[in-house]
Every structure is written in C-alpha cells, then in structure tokens.
Amino acid sequence: MTVTIKSLKDGQLPNSKTTLYTTPAATQTVVNRIRLVNTNSTAETVNLYFKASGGTSRRIIPKDYSLAASAELIMDDVLTMEAADEIEGDSTTAVKTDYVISGAENS
C-alpha cells in the first residue's frame, strides 16, 4: 500500500450541490483540511457535505454557513473516506468561493 500526501482537489464552489472530490477505487482517503475563501465583495452562503458511497449527503459544516466577504473558513476536523465516498459543496454565487481539499490517499 502506498500513502500519498497531497492536495486532493481545488477549484471554485458551484451554485448548486456538486461533487468536489471522490475517493478513487481501491483507495482510502484521510481529509485533514478543507479551506474555503470568499473572493466576492459580499457574503456567500456555503454548504459542505460528506456522502458515503451509495448513501445520503450529510452536512459537515452548519447549514447555509455565511462566509463574509473576503473571509476564509478552515475545516480541520479529520474526515476518513472509503472508495467512492464524496465531498460535495455549493455556494450562493458560482465561482466566488475558492476551495482546497488537502489530505492523504492510501492505495
């Protein structure tokens, strides 16, 4: 088994719930940080979810979290994921909230 510490995914939150990261087949992932940065001049309402493979989306931050203009949110609670588990997210306005998901994959 190989453990790779890396930036798992980065991008900008969409304005509807979308998959941001999926654990690859035959892999386990440990997410140790998710960073959100609001690049908008007004507050953004953001949501993040964990979805087990074949399961239901579960919130991992408070519902409709208000992220002030130019503010950041750092979620550093460890999240363990199995193959095909997902992290999902959305924001009020598409492409105004940057995200970086960091952790390690064990394959």
Judge whether 72 and 35 are in contact, CB under 8 Å.
yes
pLDDT at 56: 98
User: What CATH number has the domain bearing residue 22?
Assistant: 2.60.120.340
pLDDT band at 79 (very low <50, low <70, confident <90, very high): very high
Structural domain including 9 reads 3-106
The number of domains in the chain is 1
Dist CA 26 CA 70 (whole Å):
38
Q: Would you mind telling me the total number of residues written for the chain in this entry?
A: 107
pLDDT at 1: 77
Give pLDDT tens digits for 89-103: 999 999 999 999 999
Amino acid at 95: V
Give pLDDT tens digits for 5-53: 999 999 999 999 999 999 999 999 999 999 999 999 999 999 999 999 9
Q: What pTM does this model have?
A: 0.95
